[in-house]
Amino acid sequence: MQRIAEYFHFKENGTNFKTEMLAGLTTFVSMAYILFVNPQVLGASGINQGAVFTATAFASAFGCFLMGILANYPIAISASLGINAFFAYSVVIGMKVPWETALAGVFVASILFMILTAFKLREKVVDAIPRDLKMAISAGIGLFIAFIGLSEGGIVQADKSTFLTLGSLHVGSTWLTIFGLLVTLILMSARVPGAIFIGMIANSILGLVTGLIPMPHQIISGVPSISSTFMVGLTHAGSINSLQLMVVVLTFLLVTFFDTTGTLVGLAEQAGLVKNNKLPRIGKALMADSSTMVVGSLLGTSPMGAFVESSAGIAVGGRTGFTAITTGVLFIFGAFFSPLLAVVTSQVTAPALIIVGVLMAQSLKNIHWEKFEVAAPAFLIVLGMPLTYSISDGIALGFITYPLTMIAAKRGKEVGAMMYGLAVVFVLFLWILNAK
Tens digit of pLDDT per residue, the chain (436 long)? Answer: 788 888 888 988 889 999 999 999 999 988 887 888 788 789 889 999 889 999 999 999 999 999 999 999 999 999 987 678 778 887 888 888 899 999 999 999 999 989 988 888 878 887 888 989 988 988 888 898 789 889 989 999 998 888 899 999 999 999 999 999 999 999 989 988 678 878 888 998 999 999 998 887 777 788 889 999 999 999 999 989 887 788 788 778 877 777 778 888 888 888 888 877 777 888 898 899 899 999 999 999 999 989 888 988 998 889 999 999 999 999 999 888 767 667 777 788 888 888 878 888 888 998 999 999 999 999 999 999 889 887 778 888 999 999 999 999 999 999 999 899 989 988 987 886 665 4
Estimate the share of the chain in helix, then strand, then coil, as percent rounded to the nearest 5.
70, 5, 25
Termini Cα distance of the chain: 56
Cα 272 from Cα 258, distance rounded (Å): 21
Structural contact between residues 258 and 113, judged by C-beta atoms closer than 8 angstroms: no
**Alpha-carbon torsion, ordered 131, 75, 45, 340, to 10 deg:** -140
Amino acid at 154: G
Contacts of 197 (CB under 8 A, 6+ apart): 22, 25, 26, 29, 316
Structural contact between residues 401 and 375, judged by C-beta atoms closer than 8 angstroms: no
What's residue 436's pLDDT? 47
What's residue 259's pLDDT? 76
Structural contact between residues 284 and 70, judged by C-beta atoms closer than 8 angstroms: yes
What's residue 67's pLDDT? 95
Structural contact between residues 258 and 396, judged by C-beta atoms closer than 8 angstroms: yes
Cα 71 from Cα 321, distance rounded (Å): 7
Amino acid at 425: V
Structural contact between residues 312 and 75, judged by C-beta atoms closer than 8 angstroms: no
Phi–psi pair at 146, nearest 5 degrees? -65, -40
Structural contact between residues 76 and 286, judged by C-beta atoms closer than 8 angstroms: no
What pTM did the predictor assign?
0.75
